[in-house]
Chain A
Amino acid sequence: MLELRKDLFADERDDTLNVVGKSVQRQDMPGHVTARTRFFDDHAFDGLLHLKVVRSPHPHARIRSIDVSAAARAPGVKRVLRAADVPVNKNTLLSLINFGKDDEPALAVDKVCYVGEPVVAVIAESEAAALAARNLVRIEYEPLTPVFDVEEALKPGAPVVNPTYPNNYFEYHERFDHQKLRFGDVEAAFARADIVIEHRYQMSPIEHAPTETNGSIAAPEHNDRYVVHTCAQGLFFSLGTTAKIVNLESNRLHFIGGTVGGGFGGKVDSLTEPLAVLGAMLTGRPVRFVLDREEEMLYGSPRGAERIYIKDGLMRDGRIVARYVRSYFDAGAYTRLSSYAAIKCTAHIPGPYWIPNVASDIHVAYTNRCPSTAMRGFGITAVDFALEVQMDRLAEAAGLDPMEFRILNAYRDGDVKPHRRVAKNTALIECVQVAAEKANWPLSDQARRQSSLVGGGTGARAEIPATVLDQRGQIGRPESRGAPATGTLPAGAMRIPLTKEPVMEGTRDGRAAPVQVPRYAPAPAPGPAGPPPAAAASRPAAPPASSAPPFYPPAPSPAPVAPPPVAPPAAPPTQHGAMRFSSVFGTRRR
């Protein structure tokens, strides 16, 4: 049984709610356990047609010719779709939020970039007829040299995987071949660290393996619209992607879903909806496109592999003084969502710890494998594996118990994180303490006395340090990867306006629940000053600071000898209304 520790943080909660916090049976449970719940594939249509795609057998090849004549004449075949039949045959998923360039065709045009890339679609009266006709499509390929390793792909002269990104990497801010994180001076800190430890980690690709494979059924409606039953994880995300590719106004599509047989991130890509709708448009009949298990396993877009290098500077007393992370997301042949995950990963570094000097370079590399996509923990799972195995190594090197080492370095309320924002609402220390207690893993009295509420946001922990900047890794200039630092950003510098943070307005209403709704606080003006000091809000449960001596008082970091400071660029104006990603990072699309 799950155990709730209501005693912890009790003063921060109102535990008199009526139904929130209760294990009420789910409204959909009776349907699920009696097999009466209807999923997308439980919708029957008269005259249903079945769509199957012909996939590339090569990881990288030029298409010399395509002959569909025999397939088109085969029994039961209603229509064969080729690239030219797709109204807008180039898309990138995040184009809906205007992030990144269109780079992926629905059906391959003149080359294939991975084993399993769809080239031709066959629509027939039965699945058997579609599968039989699929074997009659003749495609002549000229094999090209593939590249499978992320670091090989980034070397000059590597085969070009994705013509939209000819250097085999996603381009950030129209400037760099990676996303940077810079906080303090890692090199100076490594130089004065007692111990420096560097290791390489490799996260494997993973298949989502949902019980229900990806699929959809599209059917013409009498009112000149198309109804689509789908397993999409984002209903309007899939609707928008489909509307763009088949070139229909969004209100001519009626998407129905919401009850999905497992997703884990593998049903965000709209793998089937555009071709199913296109098939319905061109045949005037309902079209079902469902991946079989082999297609789901091999071509249903996996969790991407990530290669991660971590270098840490450690003092003998167990304090981590510097962390540098260099990692490579394997996007496969097309971008999908990897570009976004790299930003999320950047915000996550260095993990839930306070470290005074942190830097990272996160790359998204294209290789000749099935495009990877989101999966549970996207952008975080792999780097957490690497960070936490590295933490185990550091604890051993410092001669400390791994739990005590986590508590020593844990971030606390008020600490500044490397993306230059203050940590709040932290609870890592309490989780370590509770897990240790339940696992009968002894902690020292000192470690048991620590609190996330106390000891953070003091001294250097509350400050944005002077930060060494560089222009390494410029787009199209691989020689710039080893360039020296170009200057130092002064301590306290902030360039990105603080966005308005919602605060929940709570009221008590007799015996009813407290009602909370988001209200936006005015955004503080950005400026060269440091972040606002950690809120010393009333926290009666927290022990007074004086009674809990810091586990290890944070040592003031000596100011590094720095090159002359460069002036920070003017802060961009605060935007109102709809913002477009192209205006904040990535590549302008239009």
Chain B
Amino acid sequence: MARHEGRGMASVNYPIGMNLGGDPSQALIHSNPDGKFTVALSAIDLGQGMKQVSRQIAAETLGVPVEDVYVDTADSDTGPHDMGSFASRGTHRMGNAVIAAAREARGVLLEAAAEELEVNAADLVTDGRGNIHVRGAPTRSITVKATAQAAQFKQGRTIAGRGIFLLPLSAVDAETGEMNPNTAFAHACLVADVAVDDETGEVTVLRMTSAYELGRVINPRMVEQQLVGGAWMGMSHALYETPEPYYPDPAHGPRDFNEYLMPGPGDIAPYHVTVLERPAPDGPFGGKGPGEMCANPVLPAIANAVYNAVGVRVDELPITPEKILRGIKANGGVRPQPRRGGAVTWRPRDVAVPA
């Protein structure tokens, strides 16, 4: 019995939002009399952080503190239409709709403040801490709260905004596949280090190292949770799970988590992610979306690492011990491929995941 280490890589890109467009998102924003804002949506928070992304984008655009904004989603009586939370579209599509709504609300806010300060609204700026003042003259200021109270009880104004974002629907040519697909693409490259046991056929993922380009990062910790969780999902797709292990034979359907094989805590690999930000020209503050692509490079990187370790190509997922042992046998033994590079330049304790 021997344990063979191997290293593989893959690089990918990913389209953000529904491929052909035609998928609108809407947002409504209004202020209460104290200058606290509510963003009404019908977007779905699946745990990915839709509420928080919308909240930070709204606060940034309004120019108010983030704690003065809450997001209310999803109630079809109060939240305007949105296609839904899928296709990596939440941050990009809804983020743009929130910007449009917040910009309209901000316009009213500044007009109301201008009336109180007896200046031109175009001369006003926000400090992001709850104050509005004349550009270059911080003492000529009014709080957002006082402005909202004046708007509500004195001026009779609603501080509110509406927003929609829509990429027009593209046609597709039947003969050539010509189309206007997505306008924003994210990118990634991932290196997987594995160990393959040539007696049991078991694969251990030792560590993963990646670089992702995601446009503007709206909230780094939420990007991290997506990329790390998604990488583990990719490991699971590559090595563990399927309801039909002998597909297309439909037999052996699993009924629960005892029968559906997924990695446990002991199987999780340390992971280091570097994030690059090349802003999307049409993204909210340049944001793209990390939601879906984070599993994609892991599958081929692990398959390529297994080949590098023992010389077996497994072209049918998942890469089970059975397939590896059959491959080793067919090759007449293990055939380790050339080593690539040296030890990684990061240590497991550098990353916020259990080593």
Chain A residues lying within 8 Å of B41, measured Cβ to Cβ, are 258
For A, the interface residue count at a CB cutoff of 8 angstroms equals 161
Interface size range on B against A: 35 or more
**Interchain residue pairs with CB less than 8 A apart (18):** A1-B352, A20-B216, A26-B51, A27-B51, A232-B84, A233-B85, A239-B76, A347-B181, A388-B301, A391-B10, A402-B340, A420-B176, A425-B185, A426-B187, A428-B11, A433-B211, A504-B286, A513-B60
Please judge, given known A-B contacts A13-B216, A23-B219, A439-B209, whether A260 and B176 are in contact too, CB under 8 Å.
no
Q: Which of B52, B189, B279, B300 has the most CB of A within 10 A?
A: B189
In the bound complex, CA of A374 to CA of B46 (Å): 15
Quick check: A425 and B184 within 8 Å, CB to CB?
Answer: yes
Q: Which of A22, A305, A381, A401 has the most CB of B within 10 A?
A: A381
In the bound complex, CA of A589 to CA of B41 (Å): 31
Q: Which B residue sits closest to A523, measured CB to CB?
A: B168
How far is the CB of B221 from the nearest CB of chain A, in Å? 4
List B residues 271-292 near A (Cβ within 8 Å). 272-286, 291-292
In the bound complex, CA of A499 to CA of B10 (Å): 32
Q: Which of B185, B248, B257 has the most CB of A within 10 A?
A: B248
Q: Which B residue sits closest to A147, measured CB to CB?
A: B248
Please judge, given known A-B contacts A233-B85, A388-B300, whether A6 and B277 are in contact too, CB under 8 Å.
yes
Please judge, given known A-B contacts A352-B11, A504-B281, whether A431 and B180 are in contact too, CB under 8 Å.
no
A548 at the A/B interface (Cβ < 8 Å)? no
Interface string of B79-109 (1 = CB under 8 A from A): 1011111110000000010011001001000
Quick check: A389 and B303 within 8 Å, CB to CB?
Answer: yes
Report which of A256, A257, A518 forms a contact with B165, defined as CB distance below 8 A: A518
Give the 9 A-B CB pairs with smallest separation, nearest first.
A234-B84, A510-B125, A258-B74, A388-B300, A181-B177, A441-B341, A584-B171, A173-B174, A434-B211
Quick check: B242 and A205 within 8 Å, CB to CB?
Answer: yes
A491 at the A/B interface (Cβ < 8 Å)? no
Q: Which of B19, B106, B282 has the most CB of A within 10 A?
A: B19
In the bound complex, CA of A379 to CA of B51 (Å): 26
A97 at the A/B interface (Cβ < 8 Å)? yes
List A residues 321-359 near B (Cβ within 8 Å). 330, 340, 343-344, 346-348, 351-352
Q: Which A residue sits closest to B72, measured CB to CB?
A: A258
Quick check: B42 and A431 within 8 Å, CB to CB?
Answer: no
Quick check: A388 and B11 within 8 Å, CB to CB?
Answer: yes
Please judge, given known A-B contacts A19-B66, A202-B247, A430-B213, whether A435 and B44 are in contact too, CB under 8 Å.
no
Quick check: A179 and B244 within 8 Å, CB to CB?
Answer: no
Quick check: B11 and A27 within 8 Å, CB to CB?
Answer: no
Quick check: B170 and A499 within 8 Å, CB to CB?
Answer: yes
Report which of A259, A427, A512 forms a contact with B276, defined as CB distance below 8 A: A427
In the bound complex, CA of A201 to CA of B303 (Å): 12
In the bound complex, CA of A426 to CA of B273 (Å): 19
How far is the CB of A380 from the nearest CB of chain B, in Å? 6
Q: Which A residue sits closest to B301, measured CB to CB?
A: A388
Quick check: A268 and B84 within 8 Å, CB to CB?
Answer: yes
A140 at the A/B interface (Cβ < 8 Å)? no
A5-B211, A378-B86, A421-B179 known; 7 other A-B pairs, CB under 8 Å? A8-B276, A204-B237, A204-B247, A209-B262, A384-B12, A439-B341, A440-B341
Chain A residues lying within 8 Å of B169, measured Cβ to Cβ, are 499, 579, 581, 584
Chain A residues lying within 8 Å of B35, measured Cβ to Cβ, are none
Report which of A19, A348, A377, A384 forms a contact with B300, defined as CB distance below 8 A: A384
Chain A residues lying within 8 Å of B15, measured Cβ to Cβ, are 344, 347-348, 380
Quick check: A257 and B189 within 8 Å, CB to CB?
Answer: no
B201 at the A/B interface (Cβ < 8 Å)? no
Quick check: B12 and A351 within 8 Å, CB to CB?
Answer: yes
In the bound complex, CA of A302 to CA of B340 (Å): 36
List B residues 235-271 near A (Cβ within 8 Å). 237, 241-245, 247-250, 253-257, 259-260, 262
B307 at the A/B interface (Cβ < 8 Å)? yes
Report which of A258, A347, A391 forms a contact with B45, defined as CB distance below 8 A: A258
Quick check: A297 and B255 within 8 Å, CB to CB?
Answer: yes
Q: Which of B135, B259, B295 has the most CB of A within 10 A?
A: B295
In the bound complex, CA of A149 to CA of B15 (Å): 29
> Is chain B's binding surface mostly helix, strand, loop or mixed?
loop
A200 at the A/B interface (Cβ < 8 Å)? yes
Chain B residues lying within 8 Å of A388, measured Cβ to Cβ, are 10-12, 297, 299-301, 304
Chain B residues lying within 8 Å of A9, measured Cβ to Cβ, are 276-279
* Interface-side segment among B111-119, B152-160, B310-318, B325-333: B310-318
How far is the CB of A201 from the nearest CB of chain B, in Å? 5
How far is the CB of A470 from the nearest CB of chain B, in Å? 8
Chain B residues lying within 8 Å of A205, measured Cβ to Cβ, are 242-244, 247
A547 at the A/B interface (Cβ < 8 Å)? no
Q: Which B residue sits closest to A250, measured CB to CB?
A: B76
In the bound complex, CA of A202 to CA of B20 (Å): 26
Quick check: A302 and B168 within 8 Å, CB to CB?
Answer: no
Q: Which of A347, A386, A500, A581 has the most CB of B within 10 A?
A: A347
In the bound complex, CA of A205 to CA of B242 (Å): 6
A254 at the A/B interface (Cβ < 8 Å)? yes
Quick check: A502 and B183 within 8 Å, CB to CB?
Answer: yes
Quick check: B250 and A115 within 8 Å, CB to CB?
Answer: yes
Quick check: B279 and A381 within 8 Å, CB to CB?
Answer: no
Please judge, given known A-B contacts A4-B275, A13-B277, A431-B213, whether A20 and B285 are in contact too, CB under 8 Å.
yes
List A residues 34-81 near B (Cβ within 8 Å). 59
Chain A residues lying within 8 Å of B221, measured Cβ to Cβ, are 2, 23
Quick check: B281 and A503 within 8 Å, CB to CB?
Answer: yes
How far is the CB of A367 from the nearest CB of chain B, in Å? 7
In the bound complex, CA of A1 to CA of B273 (Å): 8
Chain A residues lying within 8 Å of B244, measured Cβ to Cβ, are 204-205, 305, 369
A170 at the A/B interface (Cβ < 8 Å)? no
A21 at the A/B interface (Cβ < 8 Å)? yes
Chain A residues lying within 8 Å of B185, measured Cβ to Cβ, are 352, 423, 425-426
Quick check: B174 and A180 within 8 Å, CB to CB?
Answer: yes
In the bound complex, CA of A87 to CA of B209 (Å): 53
In the bound complex, CA of A205 to CA of B182 (Å): 26
Please judge, given known A-B contacts A19-B128, A585-B171, whether A236 and B84 are in contact too, CB under 8 Å.
yes
List B residues 36-60 near A (Cβ within 8 Å). 41-47, 49, 51-52, 55-57, 59-60
Chain B residues lying within 8 Å of A426, measured Cβ to Cβ, are 13, 185, 187
A590 at the A/B interface (Cβ < 8 Å)? no
Quick check: B76 and A385 within 8 Å, CB to CB?
Answer: no
Quick check: B352 and A500 within 8 Å, CB to CB?
Answer: no
A511 at the A/B interface (Cβ < 8 Å)? yes
In the bound complex, CA of A578 to CA of B306 (Å): 50
A160 at the A/B interface (Cβ < 8 Å)? no
In the bound complex, CA of A582 to CA of B32 (Å): 44
Quick check: B87 and A378 within 8 Å, CB to CB?
Answer: yes
